[in-house]
Structure 1
Amino acid sequence: MGRPRRNLSARQRVSRSALPGATRGFVWGPVIGFGLVSLAADVVSDGARPLAGPLLAQLGASALLVGLVTGGAEAAAQGLRLVFGPWADRTRRYWTFTLAGYALTAVCVPLLAVAPWAGGSGLVLAAALIIGDRVGKAVRSPAKTVLLAAVARPVGRGRGFAVHKSLDLAGALLGPVLVWAVLAASGNLSAAFAVLAVPAGAAMLLLFWLRRQVADAGAGRPAPEEEGGGRQAAVEPPSPGAAGRPASLFTRSFALFAVAAFFWSAGLVAFGVISYHLTTAAAVPVAVVPLLYAGAMAAAALGALATGVLYDRSGAWVLLALPLLIAAVPVLALAPAAGVVFSGVLVWGTALGIQDSTVKALVADLVPEPRQGTAYGVFAAFEGAGALAGGALYGALYDTRPLLIAAVAVLQLLAFVVLVAALRSPRSPRSPRRQL
């Protein structure tokens, strides 16, 4: 008689898929899958983002209203994670939040094509859809990152997040190029938004396919391969804290890391300020700005890959480069000479790539798994508060450039000091092999 089939736990399935050889690519599959979904979704979201202002202006919005809508959208993308992260942790419905968030973007962005044809309500519709896209980001981001952190562990979270972010940023690069090409050919904003329905549909198809390959974290149900099905990988369900109590979130290392994130986010200028400077002070044609943004996304991908590999090899100390890069951004990106500004755009993109990839890998290593969704929500709130403060800082001091540069340097010195304190904490991973 044949040997009886042994049911495997989620932990054992992940462990098996981490074996060398043929199964190595098998483990990379879910990471690449999440990356391709993000690539398609970012073609949609980042393709539309440079056009939000021109669309609102075409519909009759004032500069103040454009600022309120786009600023409110970004605030929602960060701040609402503080709601949806804990909610995902409580319900353990990580896939539900992931699917709902991506669906919001896939629906809202292409529908912007109809706003110019909606008459007097077009401005209200466009504002609601622009904010809806960023709300979708808040809904999906903590839950998706928990899933990604789990499937990336066997290959190294630094590498996993870096590869994912590189694919994500490839979409952020392709999106502006796509809408630029459509605008160049048609001169029609509605056509540029409408064409984004194609990558939106591709993102949702990929996501539903991936849903069949990766089990929901902590769903409390057997995986299909235990019932004869064929899922390729399963997210390891979170383990509770001692004596069944929820694991603690606010460790000293996580709290310090979040404070450091506030300081570096307050110094990382929004690209809107850089693009304003490019077109007003550096005499760069408006049509060139989307291509410069695409170049920044390419730099972000390279920065994410490089620091991700170094994170897994040498530990979290690689993140000390982040405040140093951010301190250089206002010096270069707000210079009067266009060539210097271009180099500043690349430095800005590199810093953004590190912030959106390797930083998230460290959050996953600092926080117990049952609280990761909450942690990403809390961490995003610190980053969002810093970005809001930074926007006010850059707006107030833009005309006094030396004072602005000094203020950003002080913020990054504070970020550097607090980050060192966070990395010296006992729970901070100093090597790629240490598991928390």
Structure 2
Amino acid sequence: MAAVPALAFTRSWQAAACLIILERVGKAIRNPPRDVLLASAAQRIGGYGWAFGIHEACDQFGAMVGPLVVAAVLATRGDYRLAFAVLAVPAVINLCFLTVARLVFPRPQDMEQRTGSEAGGGSFPTQYWVYLFGAGLVAAGFADYPLIAYHWVKHHTLTTEWIPILYAVAMAVSGGAALVLGRLFDRYGSKVLIGLTCVSLLFAPLVFLGGHFGLAILGAALWGMGMGVHESIIPAAVAPMVARSKRASAFGTFTAVYGVCWFAGSALIGGIYDQSVIGAVAFCVITQAMALPVFVWVSWRREKG
């Protein structure tokens, strides 16, 4: 996240754009090996869903606390440089934990018991590619929060001071839901995604067509639950689909395709929104609903095999 504090001191939009791109590149580099490490540790802590759920809960906890710390420093000292410098403290702690993990578990793949299905190599199975297609549809139909916030303010659903509050609510729901949904995934498998997709796609009509405060809160909560699904259940389902020796490339490919689909979908939603709010809602709902038969097939294939 080194690029984010630097954004506060840039003097041009070109520099800001470069820093944003660098921050996203950093995320793309971190995510696949991180997901492989989580998958390797999953057996020791209770399952793939639980491992990814704990990560998402901790991630969203930091997403809530970090801005609050910055706001507190600004309120008491009024110094942006000091506020962002404080964020170096958790970054250093994170590097210390990573160093300890490297020393204690130099071969993280050894934390997981080897089985016959995991020992093999070869190409990715058909199930993986079909699942990636479905996950890409869900990503493409998931609107970003800035567009939602813009809509609320533009249509006077909320005043500007409520925008960060509802975002915090969404992040709290995301972290809490990730833990619960992770346990459900470990117990019931990929079929959990079917119900979760049906529920989370309702965020679009609620946030864009609701028109009043109560529905906006409910929509934000469902949007946050969707984020929890994106960051925990969806990647967790990848791990058991591929051989252990292929997980790094599997997560790398998944992250790349998933990110491209999310970017393309967000651009389309924004373009459609300029022409018709109802059209944007329809795109979000239909695109995510198209993933349902894919998840049904993946769940059936998983149970069969």
- Range into which the TM-score falls when normalised by the shorter chain: 0.7 to 0.9
Q: What letter is aligned with 1:422?
A: V
Spell out the pairing of 1:43-82 with structure 2 (5 A cutoff): none
Structure 2 gap segments, 5+ residues each:
none
Aligned residue identity for 2:64: L
The aligned counterpart of 1:282 is 156
Q: Which of 122, 125, 128 in structure 2 is aligned with 1:254?
A: 128
Between the aligned partners of 1:383 and 1:145, the Cα distance in structure 2 is 14
Task: Return the offset for 1:326.
Answer: 3.4
User: Once the 2 structures are TM-superposed, how far is the Cα of residue 278 of structure 1 from its aligned partner?
Assistant: 2.5
1:293 aligns with 2:184: no
Q: Does 1:194 align with 2:85?
A: yes
The amino acid of 1:359's aligned partner reads I
Q: Distance in 2 between matches of 1:313 and 1:405?
A: 33
Distance in 1 between the 2:114 and 2:14 partners?
A: 42
Between the aligned partners of 2:25 and 2:191, the Cα distance in structure 1 is 33
User: In 1, are the aligned partners of 2:191 and 2:295 still within 8 Å (CA)?
Assistant: no
Gaps of 5+ in 1: 1-104, 219-233, 431-435
Q: Deviations over 1:190-236 (max 9, x none)?
A: 34322211221221122212222222346xxxxxxxxxxxxxxx544
Shift of the alpha carbon at 1:408?
2.3
Q: 1:396 to 1:158 in 2, by over 3 A?
A: same
Within the candidate set 361, 383, 386, 2:258 is matched to 383
- Structure 1 position 153, deviation (Å): 1.8
Report the alpha carbon displacement of residue 258 of structure 1 after superposing the two structures with TM.
Answer: 0.5
2:159 & 2:28 partners in 1: Cα distance?
33
Which of 263, 281, 289 is the matching residue for 2:137?
Answer: 263
Task: Tell me: CA distance 1:285–1:205, structure 2 relative to 1, closer, same or farther (3 Å).
Answer: farther
- Give the aligned partner of residue 129 of structure 1: 19
Give distance in 2, aligned partners of 1:277 and 1:340. Answer: 14
Do the aligned partners of 1:264 and 1:412 also contact (CA within 8 Å) in 2? Answer: yes
**1:185–1:283 CA distance, 2 compared to 1 (3 A):** farther
Cα pair distance change 1:429/1:378, threshold 3 Å: farther
Q: Secondary structure at the match of 1:397?
A: helix
The aligned counterpart of 1:407 is: 283
Structure (1 or 2) with the larger CA radius of gyration: 1
How far did residue 320 of structure 1 move?
Answer: 0.8
- Corresponding position of 2:73: 182
Per-residue CA deviations over 1:343-397 (Å, capped at 9, x if unaligned) read 1111000011011111221100111111111111221223222212321232122
Q: Relative contact order, CA 8 A, sep 6+: which one is greater?
A: 2
Classify the secondary structure of the residue corresponding to 2:158.
Answer: coil
Among candidates 368, 374, 391, match of residue 249 of structure 2: 374
Amino acid at match of 1:389: A
**Which residue number corresponds to residue 324 of structure 1?**
198
Contact 1:177 1:291 in 2 (8 A): no
TM-score when normalising by structure 1: 0.63
One of 214, 219, 225 as aligned partner of 1:339: 214
Give CA deviations for 1:32-66 in whole Å, capped at 9, x if unaligned: xxxxxxxxxxxxxxxxxxxxxxxxxxxxxxxxxxx
Q: 2:28 aligns to what?
A: 138
Q: 1:150 to 1:245 in 2, by over 3 A?
A: closer
Q: Does 1:416 align with 2:254?
A: no
Query: Which of these residues, 37, 40, 44, is aligned with residue 147 of structure 1?
Result: 37
Q: TM-score under structure 2 normalisation?
A: 0.88
State the alpha-carbon separation in 1 of the partners of residues 178 and 37 from structure 2: 19
- Are 2:157 and 2:211, in contact at CA under 8 Å, matched by a contact in 1? no
Cα deviation, 1:127-152, whole Å, max 9, x if unaligned, reads: 43333222221111101111110111
| Partner SS for 1:215 | coil
Which secondary structure does the structure 1 equivalent of 2:201 belong to? helix
Greater helix fraction, Structure 1 or Structure 2:
2
RMSD: 2.7
Spell out the pairing of 1:225-236 with structure 2 (5 A cutoff): 234-236=110-112
Residue aligning to 1:226 = none
